[in-house]
């Protein structure tokens, strides 16, 4: 199936095993992995960054088979998750960078289209997160104040 904002199709790649189990060669136990996740979260890392650090530094390929839940669910239980979801925050950071580029290069038409597409994605995510209750119903996105979320 084609992508929404480009006429390209997805690329084929490797897939995870159908029934994930913790690898036999992994030396970390469930409690140790939870402590590592909480330590990395207190250092200010996002859930996806935590997963990359655990994979590359500690050799933990997947978290779910070990602790039986995702990093986001664990951080939510421990009250260490940010108030704005990570994917929405990354889109806001992208829009700030695009606006900064547009200010320096006003005739760049491609960046204007990128801004339109990114703001559309932001609006869709906000609508979804308000419906699921992850964002309060009175939460507003303002493109002029978007820079304050990235600090």
pLDDT in tens, the chain (151 residues): 567 887 787 777 788 777 788 888 889 999 999 999 999 999 999 999 999 999 999 999 899 999 999 999 999 999 999 889 999 999 999 999 999 999 999 999 999 999 999 999 999 999 999 999 999 999 998 887 887 876 6
Per-residue model confidence (pLDDT) at position 150: 67
Cβ neighbours for 138, distance < 8 A, ≥ 6 positions apart: none
Per-residue model confidence (pLDDT) at position 60: 92
**Residue ranges of domains in the chain:** 30-77, 86-149
- Domain 86-149: state its class: mainly alpha
Query: Nearest Cα to 121, choosing from 81, 93, 100, 144?
Result: 93
CB 100 within 8 A of CB 66: no
């Amino acid at each position: 199936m084609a992508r929404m904002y480009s006429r390209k199709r997805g690329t084929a790649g490797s897939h995870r095993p159908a029934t994930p189990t913790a690898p036999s060669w992994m030396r970390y136990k469930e409690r140790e992995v939870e402590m590592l996740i909480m330590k990395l979260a207190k250092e200010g890392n996002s859930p996806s960054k935590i997963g990359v650090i655990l994979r590359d530094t500690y050799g933990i390929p997947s978290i779910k088979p070990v602790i039986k839940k995702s990093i986001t669910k664990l951080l939510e239980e421990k009250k260490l998750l940010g108030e704005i979801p990570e994917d929405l925050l990354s889109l806001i950071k992208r829009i700030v960078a695009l606006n900064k580029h547009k200010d320096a290069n006003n005739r760049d038409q491609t960046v204007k289209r990128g801004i339109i597409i990114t703001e559309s994605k932001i609006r869709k995510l906000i609508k979804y997160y308000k419906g699921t209750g992850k964002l309060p119903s009175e939460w507003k996105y303002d493109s002029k104040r978007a820079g304050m979320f990235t600090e």
